[in-house]
Structure 1
């Protein structure tokens, strides 16, 4: 994996301009590996890998049996990738890794709660769309497309194909749209994404790890706030609005905190603001 150390927000913006079309993922700690929530959960609590496939299949089956009670249209559970996306975005461990087409959205997720150096992973999707593992030309992106019926069972759930697929469900929910989101679906869950990518034969850089120093967090978060990249825009619901309030505690513009009358000012409706 190519590692890039930057020192300022301006440097990150300039670097991002050179990665047009790539996909990005933010980690609030640079030491975190590129593994899915499912992999992390299984490593932590189910050390015997022999039962991993059965456990994953059971988790998906249980979700499908019960989730229809909370959905206006249960047909969204029929497509494997759409079902996994629903599970992922509501907190269930899945083999999906969330990425975004926006380096700035990834930077937000990396820095929002960072207390040490964070990282943004950049994935060379323009090259990977046409790449296959060494000696496996039959495992092209189109051939393993998990949106096609039977392909998830054929190429992913068995955990024997060291391959990745990048893309979105045929129908995208509001959060995925708001975040310019996309998914990486690995064919094995006992290896990190960079380990799987080492099986791809190309001279191009497939993945880079951009280290974001903790010292640039304040500057970066203020810049992202001005770009309207906040929890309330990335999660367009009441939960997102509530989550966005935390950063409002930090955003005090110059001169405002020194004005003792600020807390007593009335808004347009007469309420305090």
Structure 2
């Protein structure tokens, strides 16, 4: 994986401007590995990796058995990728890694709550689209597509094949649409994404770039993103997103308001 230490917000604009057609993921710590929420949870609490397929399958089965009471169209649960997307949307740990087609959306999620150097990862999806894993060239993107019936269970759930697939569910929810989102689906839960990409012939090292955003850039980045209307309120278009966006509003106070407040602060009793 190539690592680029950025020096300014303009650096970020320049580098991402050259990555046409790539996908992006923001993480608030540059030191975190590219692991899914399910990977992190299983590594922390369920160390016996032999049982991971059993645990993941059970979580999906329980969710499907109970979620239908909350859904107008429960048939969506029959599609493995849509089911996982729904689980992830509502807080369940899944093997899905959230990516976006927008580097600015990724920068927002990287920087919004960062307390140290953050990172935006750029994935060359244009090359990965036709790349094949060296260990099994017959496993093309179409062959392992988890949107097709039985493919998720066959190629991902057993946690044996170091595969990578990316794409969108057959139907997207409002958050995915608002975020220009897509998912990366890893075939091995214990391996970070950069390690899995090494299986894709000699393209592996160049398929992924880590753009490190120093913490000192956060204030400028968040202000620029606010001007682009990239906030929790727009990326999570519901009441939860609006409420989360108030944290950003605490930081965005215009100079005129500050001057007026300091000139004549409110009376306190």
TM-score normalised to structure 2 length: 0.96
Residue aligning to 2:218: 217
CA displacement at 1:131 relative to structure 2: 0.3
In 2, the alpha carbon distance for the partners of 1:222 and 1:262 equals 26
State the Cα deviation string for residues 82-114 of structure 1 (Å, max 9, x = none): 000000111100000000000000000000001
CA displacement at 1:237 relative to structure 2: 0.3
Residue aligning to 1:132: 132
CA displacement at 1:135 relative to structure 2: 3.9
Cα-Cα RMSD: 1.3
Over 3 Å counting, the alpha-carbon distance change for 1:62 and 1:263 in structure 2 is: farther
**1:255 lines up with 2:256 in the alignment:** yes
Residue aligning to 1:196: 196
Q: Is the 8 A contact 1:132 1:163 kept in 2?
A: no
Q: Is the 8 A contact 1:224 1:230 kept in 2?
A: yes
- Superposed counterparts of 1:208-247, under 5 Å: 208-247=209-248
In 2, the alpha carbon distance for the partners of 1:103 and 1:262 equals 41
State the Cα deviation string for residues 236-259 of structure 1 (Å, max 9, x = none): 000000000011111111232120
Residue aligning to 2:48: 48
In 1, the alpha carbon distance for the partners of 2:73 and 2:228 equals 34
Residue aligning to 1:174: 174
CA displacement at 1:211 relative to structure 2: 0.2
- Helix, strand or coil at the partner of 2:26: strand
CA displacement at 1:137 relative to structure 2: 1.6
Residue aligning to 1:270: none
* Structure 2: 5+ residue stretches without partners: none
In 2, the alpha carbon distance for the partners of 1:121 and 1:239 equals 26
- Superposed counterparts of 1:1-273, under 5 Å: 1-203=1-203, 205-260=206-261
State the Cα deviation string for residues 14-50 of structure 1 (Å, max 9, x = none): 1111001101000001111000000000000011111
State the Cα deviation string for residues 101-131 of structure 1 (Å, max 9, x = none): 0000000000000111000010000000000
In 2, the alpha carbon distance for the partners of 1:262 and 1:20 equals 50
Q: Is the 8 A contact 2:161 2:187 kept in 1?
A: yes
In 2, the alpha carbon distance for the partners of 1:184 and 1:262 equals 53
In 2, the alpha carbon distance for the partners of 1:182 and 1:145 equals 14
* Structure 1: 5+ residue stretches without partners: 265-273
In 2, the alpha carbon distance for the partners of 1:200 and 1:8 equals 32
TM-score normalised to structure 1 length: 0.94
In 1, the alpha carbon distance for the partners of 2:265 and 2:235 equals 28
Residue aligning to 1:271: none
In 1, the alpha carbon distance for the partners of 2:135 and 2:77 equals 34
Q: Is the 8 A contact 2:145 2:165 kept in 1?
A: yes
In 1, the alpha carbon distance for the partners of 2:219 and 2:168 equals 32
- Higher helix proportion, which one? 2
Q: Is the 8 A contact 2:135 2:199 kept in 1?
A: no
